[in-house]
Structures are given as C-alpha cells and as structure tokens.
C-alpha cells in the first residue's frame, strides 16, 4: 500500500535527487568494500561429465582434473592450524585431541593430493568475504537502465535494491550426523578467521546454526536420518493391507514427504549440501523382523513391501524432485557416502579401528569391494543408488568417498566415549576439513 500511495503523490524532483544521491553513496560504499576485500577470480563453468565424479575443467588449465582420485601425502611443511580442539562446536565424541587419542594430532599432517592437480585449502577469510551479501549483485543492473526511467520503474527498482541489501547469504547442511561432522568443520574454520559477532541461529527448522553478523552469512545444519518422514507404526485392530501380510509393528516411512526438520530449507538457503545413507542400512534400529521399514506413498502402503534398498530409490526420486521444485534458485550439492572402517566385525560385534596411518590402495579394496561384501560394503552400495538417482538432476555431486576410504586412521575409535569404537564419525580437526576444501573449490567452479 505504501508504495502505491507514493506513486500517486508524484514526489517532487528535489525528493528524487535526494534518493539518487543516497543510492550513489551506497554504491560508492559498496564499491569501496568490494575493493578492500580479497580478490576473487572468475568462476569457471562446472564441466563434470558424470554425476559420480568431482571433475572440473579450468579454462586456464590444459586438461581437466578429477579431484576425487588421488593419494594422501605427508605435508612436510604443514600450513597454520585451521582450528584447534578448543572450538566449542566440536561434539565431545569427535574431539580426539582433548580425548587423548594417540594419533589425534597426526591426522591433520596428511594432505589429499589429486592426480595431476592440487586441492587448495579453504581460505576462511576469502570464503567469508566472497559470500558476504552475495545476493547484492543485482545493484549492477542499475547502470543498464534507460535514461527515460519512469518514477514507477525507479521505485520498483529501489525496492529491489533495498531487499538485496537486507538479504542474508546462507548455506544449509541437510542430513545425518556425518553432515553435522562436515558442518562443524566449516563453522570452526570460519569462526577462527571471522571478525565481529557470531550469533547462534536455527533458521527454517535447523537443528543448529550460526550467523556471522559482519558478513551477513548464515551456516546451518538440519538433522534428518532418512530425508523423508518416518514414525512408529503398529497394526490396527481393524486390519489393513499390511496387517493381512502379518505385520504387527515397524516404522512407517513416507517416501514422498520430506522430514519436517528440513522441509523449508530449500526455500531459505542459497547453498544446500545433502546426504543420506547410513540409516538405511541400520538393522539395529530398523530390524527387518522386529521393526521393519514399511514404505508409504500418497498416504498408502506400497505393495508388495519394498526392501530398504528399493525404498531408498523411491525416496531419493521424490526428495530430489521436491528440492528442485522448492529450491529452484539454490545451489544444490549431494555429498557421497562417508566410509566406515570397522575391522573384526561391525560396531555391535566388537569391531574396531585402531590404525594410525592411511590405508594403501590394496587395503582400500579389501575394505570396500562390493564383490567381497564385507562389513563396510555399505559405502559403495549406497553410492550406486545415489548416482542413479542424481543422473539428469540439477544437483552437483560432491564426491568425498574415495579420498575418505583411505583414512582408517581418522576416526575417534575408542576415544569417542561410546561403549564401542566409533569407526564411522571423524575426528575434528580431521578428514572432513578436506571435504570442505572440495566444497569451496566446487563453488569456485560454478
């Protein structure tokens, strides 16, 4: 209403001159802030050919590089510590230095070296400044407007500028505790270099998050085990399709309904990083006999009853479509599966992970070969489902699997504070810092 009333009043020329002077001042201030920040190189086009490869081609380079293929090398001259064990956001069970894990400080002495190129470390100061008010770029359109600009168009454009100046650049991690692992890594790196206040924030249903006030940047984590909604299910006394098959209890999994914890995230965040997989292979919770996963679509049970693997395929199809519909303007990543490194049995069978150095390529195949169907085979099996589901979508794949398969030394193990070795999550600081290096590089290539 206020805008329409201003249109009718036809403000005098003097008022328009005042507005023009104010906008010119804002542009000068913005130009100064831009020039005082770190230089940002142009972002090359993402030329990844397959959904399963973190492969980008730099126009300045002779050939492209697959950053997911390489080896871990000891850094003879390690750079400054990115962050320490004093970062308050590190979950106690992942703080391997404070817990006294024998090789905790050695974990970060290894650097991922892709074949034929380098993976640069994320520069926190550059990252913060680059994504400071990233939506403000629409101001440059002002110089392209015609000289015959009407007051109506001028006021419309001025309102757009005001909105852009107040908008918040935001990144959201959506997934299980392994995505929280990655989220914490990024937050700790940014907090070490950030100036000004860092406020706690839980936007759009997030489990936790932070706003870097001086940069107008929000980073948040949305906790969800399956991406889709699931609840306990019990047989009805009135009977039904599942009851007629002998099911008495289990978990109802609605493959076409996003978990409420992140349903609003695609409409809020500028950058989204998804993951799922670990809970789909969790017989301790979804026991196939005592508490099976029972899949529903459109409010009705899917018959015949699906296996977890088939249920994952249907859920991914729906959730990818949902995110692309709701988060049309967001940059969307799907992170590949994080490997576990249990030896001598699974977590509930006395399995452990006491290694203190990365695995060799031969050992990696022993651990993760699908043909061998070992304890940790879940990693590559889940990725097969992800790659099929993501093909042809607007998602970019953040392939961290192979680089992480080598790092049997990087888990909390007995220092995780559990009754069993934690060979699934990662020590912080640690391997997930390299995941964020890859994320930052992928954003540079957009």
How far apart are alpha carbons 314 and 255 in whole angstroms?
A: 6
**Phi, psi of 134, rounded to the nearest 5 degrees:** -65, -25
Note the pLDDT of residue 45.
Answer: 32
pLDDT tens digit at each of 446 positions of the chain: 333 332 333 445 455 555 555 555 555 444 444 433 332 222 323 333 334 456 555 444 434 789 999 999 998 766 567 899 999 999 999 999 999 999 999 999 999 999 989 999 999 999 999 988 642 112 223 333 333 334 444 343 333 333 333 344 899 999 999 999 999 999 999 999 999 999 999 999 999 999 999 999 999 999 999 999 999 999 999 999 999 999 999 999 999 999 999 999 999 999 999 999 999 988 889 999 999 999 999 999 999 999 999 999 999 999 999 999 999 999 999 999 999 999 999 888 889 999 999 999 999 999 999 988 888 999 999 999 999 999 999 999 999 999 999 999 999 999 999 989 999 999 999 999 999 999 999 999 88
Distances (CA, A) of 309 to 226, 313, 314, 322: 12, 7, 9, 20
C-beta separation of 381 from 389 below 8 A: no
- Percent of the chain as helix, strand, coil, to the nearest 5: 40, 15, 45
User: Residue 114 sits in a domain of what CATH number?
Assistant: 3.40.50.1110
147 domain residue, yes or no? no
pLDDT at position 19 is 55
Neighbours of 438 (CB within 10 A): 22
Q: Which of 267, 248, 119, 139 is nearest to 205 (CA)?
A: 267
- Domain annotation covers residue 410: yes
Torsion angles phi and psi, residue 97, rounded to 5: -65, -50
Q: Which residues of 230-263 are buried (b: 16+ CB within 10 A; e: fewer)?
A: beebeeeeeeeebeeeebeebbbbbbbbbbebbb
Upstream peptide bond of 429 is cis (omega within 30 degrees of 0): yes
Looking at the structure of the chain, the number of domains it has is 1
The 8-class DSSP code of residue 24 comes to H
Whether 364 and 406 have beta carbons less than 8 Å apart is answered as yes
The separation between CA 257 and the C-alpha centre of its own chain, rounded to angstroms, equals 20
pLDDT at position 341:
97
Q: Is the residue at 76 inside a domain? A: no
pLDDT value of residue 114: 96
Q: Is position 49 within any domain? A: no
Q: What's the pLDDT at 429?
A: 96
Structure-token pair, residue 11: 């403000």
Is residue 138 assigned to a domain?
no
pLDDT for 6? 29
Report which of 441, 358, 337 is spatially closest to residue 54, judged by C-alpha positions.
441
Residue 319's φ and ψ, nearest 5 degrees, are: -70, -35
Q: What is the DSSP string of 282-344?
A: -TTTS-TTTS-EEEEETTEE-SSPPPHHHHHHHHHHHHHHHHHHH-TTSEEEEE-PPPP--BS
Q: Which residue has the tokens 């023009």?
A: 20
Find, among 380, 356, 352, the residue nearest to 366 by Cα. Answer: 380
pTM (two decimals) = 0.80
The whole-angstrom separation of Cα 382 and Cα 274 is 14
C-alpha–C-alpha distance, residues 327 and 151, integer Å: 33
Which residue range is the domain that position 322 belongs to?
A: 92-133+163-444
Question: How far, in Å, CA of 3 to CA of 339, rounded?
Answer: 55
**CA 296 centroid distance within chain:** 27
Residue 54 lies in a domain: no
φ, ψ of residue 171 to 5 degrees: the values are -125, 135
Question: For residue 208, what are the β-bridge partners?
Answer: 221
The answer to whether 51 and 397 have CB atoms below 8 angstroms apart is yes
Dihedral Cα 75, 80, 83, 85, nearest 10 deg: 70
Is residue 177 one of the residues assigned to a domain?
Answer: yes
Residue partners of 92: CB distance under 8 A and separation at least 6: 98, 99, 417
Domain presence at residue 80: no
pLDDT confidence of residue 227: 98
């Amino acid at each position: 209403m206020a805008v329409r009333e201003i249109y009718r009043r036809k403000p005098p020329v003097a008022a328009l001159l005042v507005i023009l002077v104010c906008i010119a001042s804002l542009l000068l201030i913005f130009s100064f802030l831009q020039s005082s920040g770190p230089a940002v190189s142009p972002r090359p086009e993402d030329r990844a050919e397959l959904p399963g490869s973190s492969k980008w081609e730099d126009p300045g380079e002779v050939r492209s590089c697959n950053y997911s293929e390489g080896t871990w090398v000891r850094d003879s001259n390690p750079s400054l510590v990115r962050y320490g064990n004093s970062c308050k956001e590190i979950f106690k069970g992942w703080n391997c230095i404070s817990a006294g894990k024998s090789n905790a400080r050695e974990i970060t002495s290894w650097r991922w070296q892709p074949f034929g190129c380098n993976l640069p470390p994320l520069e926190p100061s550059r990252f913060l400044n680059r994504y400071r008010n990233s939506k403000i770029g629409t101001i440059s359109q002002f110089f392209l407007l015609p000289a015959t600009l009407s007051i109506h168009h001028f006021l419309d454009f001025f309102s757009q500028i005001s909105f852009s100046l107040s908008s918040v650049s935001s990144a959201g991690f959506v997934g299980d505790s392994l995505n929280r692992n990655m989220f914490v890594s990024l937050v700790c790196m940014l907090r070490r270099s950030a100036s000004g206040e860092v406020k706690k924030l839980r936007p759009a249903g997030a489990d936790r998050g932070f706003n870097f006030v001086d940069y107008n940047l929000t980073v948040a984590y949305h906790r969800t085990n399956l991406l889709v909604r699931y609840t306990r299910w019990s047989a009805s006394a009135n009977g039904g399709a599942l009851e007629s098959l002998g099911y008495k209890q289990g978990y109802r999994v609605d493959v076409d309904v996003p978990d409420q914890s992140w349903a609003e995230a695609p409409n809020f965040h500028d950058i989204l990083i998804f993951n799922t997989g670990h809970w789909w292979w969790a017989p301790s919770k979804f026991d196939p006999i005592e508490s099976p996963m029972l899949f529903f679509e459109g409010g009705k049970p899917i018959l015949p009853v699906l296996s977890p693997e088939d249920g994952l395929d249907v859920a991914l199809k729906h959730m990818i479509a949902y995110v692309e519909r709701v988060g049309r303007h967001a940059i969307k990543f799907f992170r590949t599966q994080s490997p576990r490194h249990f030896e001598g049995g699974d977590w509930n069978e006395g399995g452990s992970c006491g290694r203190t150095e990365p695995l060799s390529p031969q050992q990696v195949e022993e651990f993760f070969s699908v043909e061998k169907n070992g304890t940790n085979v879940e990693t590559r099996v889940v990725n097969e489902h992800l790659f099929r589901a993501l093909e042809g979508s607007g998602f970019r794949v953040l392939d961290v699997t192979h680089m992480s398969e080598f790092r049997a030394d990087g888990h909390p193990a007995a220092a995780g504070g559990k009754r069993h070795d934690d060979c699934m999550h990662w020590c912080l600081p640690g391997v997930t810092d390299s995941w964020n290096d890859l994320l930052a590089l992928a954003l540079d290539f957009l």
